[in-house]
Amino acid sequence: MTDTPTPTANAPLFAPIAFGATAARNRIVMAPLTRSRSVAPENTQTDMHAEYYAQRAGAGLIVSEATQISPEGQGYAWTPGIFTDAQVESWKKVTDAVHAAGGRIFCQLWHVGAISHNVFQPDGGAPVSASEWTPEGEAFVGDLHPDGPTVPHPGARALDVDGIARIMDDYRHAGACALRAGFDGVELHAANGYLIDQFIRSSSNRRDDAYGGTLDNRLRFLTEALEALCEVMPAEKIGVRLSPEGGAGKSFDDDPLTTYSAATKALAGRGLAYLHVVRPNDFLSAGADRMRGDRIVAALRAAFDGPFVVNGNFSPSEAAEWVADGRADAVAFGRMFIANPDLPVRIASGGPYNEADTSTFYGGGAEGYTDYPALDVSDVSNVAA
């Protein structure tokens, strides 16, 4: 890994921080980024993945691409799992490479719920969710369906209480597998309209049992999933991701400020490694109201008692401002990390930045994955003042 120049701009991003039990050299987080390059049908990682993540080990913390906790939890072609021995062994290549390069990495644990298709389900049946509903948009099924690579989402079926208990077992098992694979911790994916969010949001949760109706009941799936993980690892190794607005399938909440403030309060006081909040942005939801979104993020910041990470189309300078004035403790970058494997070096040097090739985001091989050039810092003359 290339040494990072001493930053003279965006300096707040380069103060060390502890994410629970994990010491980070800076406050630049690599956001979870689905790239759809795992090997099907085993859904394993390869030496190419190890190279990709090791290239980005200059981040204070890497959060892995979303990684399904079970076959039922998959919703996109060529995404990795963390529930079989083969998957654990394949991820060990990645974590070993990141650690050898001086980095730290958490595994994002994922169940997509309704944002899936029958082709991914073990029995070929309907995907599961909080309630029966049909997400908007299409599932990325690759070559698994004759009408692919994308086909409309089918209707999802409501989980019964036995199904919910089974998924809690899946979270326990996946969390234990992540530790076996050498991850420094896990991030519970409770954002972006996927399964946990489907229980949280009023549009997708129309249950009348202990997991629906009242706000406390709609948050029960979230807190039980977290408690399941705490049975296999300390809370200081667990982060949680929330997104008050936007995401897959066009689910929504009628009162995101109240709902996600309550979710944050339910997570506070548990000694978590961090809370990772996605502010509304045009990549997540077209026409997002940035001012309203920032007010919601500020309320969640005030409600949480641990490290607070924000994500959502931040520029380096804006990220530094948010950290400097205490609106966040760290900032997660997504697209910038795709195109700039040495992003912390570039931020410290004031750029320049590679542009991401959107045509290579999903699927394929090394092109657009491991072939973005790093900055030559042997003679950096453009360090920002």
- 174 in any annotated domain: yes
Q: Among positive and negative, which fits the CA dihedral 376, 382, 384, 385?
A: positive
pLDDT digits (tens, 9 = 90+) for 168-215: 999 999 999 999 999 999 999 999 999 999 999 999 999 999 999 999
Contact, 113 vs 68, CB < 8 A? no
**54 phi, psi to nearest 5 deg:** -65, -35
pLDDT at 291: 75
Q: Among positive and negative, which fits the CA dihedral 256, 257, 258, 262?
A: positive
Position 161 pLDDT exceeds 70 = yes
Position 342 pLDDT exceeds 80 = yes
* Proportion of the chain above pLDDT 70, given as a percent: 94
Neighbours of 36 (CB within 10 A): 18
Active-site option among 76, 171, 194, 362: 194
The better pLDDT of the pair 381, 279 is held by 279
Contact, 276 vs 63, CB < 8 A? yes
pLDDT average, residue stretch 109-137: 97
pLDDT at 281: 65
- 380 in any annotated domain: no
- Among 328, 379, 310, 312, CA closest to 349: 379
Q: How far is CA 247 from CA 140, 232, 240, 319, 361, in A?
A: 15, 29, 16, 22, 18
Number of domains in the chain: 1
Give the model's confidence band at 245: pLDDT under 50 very low, under 70 low, under 90 confident, else very high: very high
Predicted TM-score of the model (pTM): 0.94
Judged by DSSP in three states, 275 sits in strand
pLDDT digits (tens, 9 = 90+) for 7-51: 667 999 999 999 999 999 999 999 999 999 999 999 999 999 999
Give the model's confidence band at 280: pLDDT under 50 very low, under 70 low, under 90 confident, else very high: confident
Q: How far is CA 277 from CA 4, 204, 245, 312, 346, in A?
A: 27, 20, 10, 9, 24
Cα–Cα dist 351/68, whole Å: 35
pLDDT digits (tens, 9 = 90+) for 297-322: 999 999 999 999 999 999 999 999 99
pLDDT at 381: 39
pLDDT digits (tens, 9 = 90+) for 256-274: 999 999 999 999 999 999 9
Highest mean pLDDT out of 47-56, 139-148, 373-382: 47-56
Q: How far is CA 217 from CA 142, 222, 227, 259, in A?
A: 36, 10, 15, 11
- 383 in any annotated domain: no
Give the model's confidence band at 382: pLDDT under 50 very low, under 70 low, under 90 confident, else very high: very low
How is residue 76 written in tokens?
A: 């996109």
Instruction: Output the domain CATH number for residue 190.
Output: 3.20.20.70
- Taking all residues of the chain, what is their mean pLDDT, rounded to a whole number? 94
Q: Which amino acid is at 117?
A: H
Position 384 pLDDT exceeds 50 = no
- 377 in any annotated domain: no
Give the model's confidence band at 148: pLDDT under 50 very low, under 70 low, under 90 confident, else very high: confident
Position 287 pLDDT exceeds 70 = no
Residue numbers of the domain that contains 281: 11-360
pLDDT at 297: 96
pLDDT at 293: 81
- 95 in any annotated domain: yes
Q: Is 53 a catalytic residue?
A: no
- 72 in any annotated domain: yes
- 60 in any annotated domain: yes
- 286 in any annotated domain: yes
**151 phi, psi to nearest 5 deg:** -140, 155
Contact, 281 vs 313, CB < 8 A? yes
Lowest mean pLDDT among 105-109, 147-151, 316-320: 147-151
pLDDT at 379: 41
Cα–Cα dist 367/385, whole Å: 34
Residue in the block written with tokens 């029958």: 118
pLDDT at 383: 35
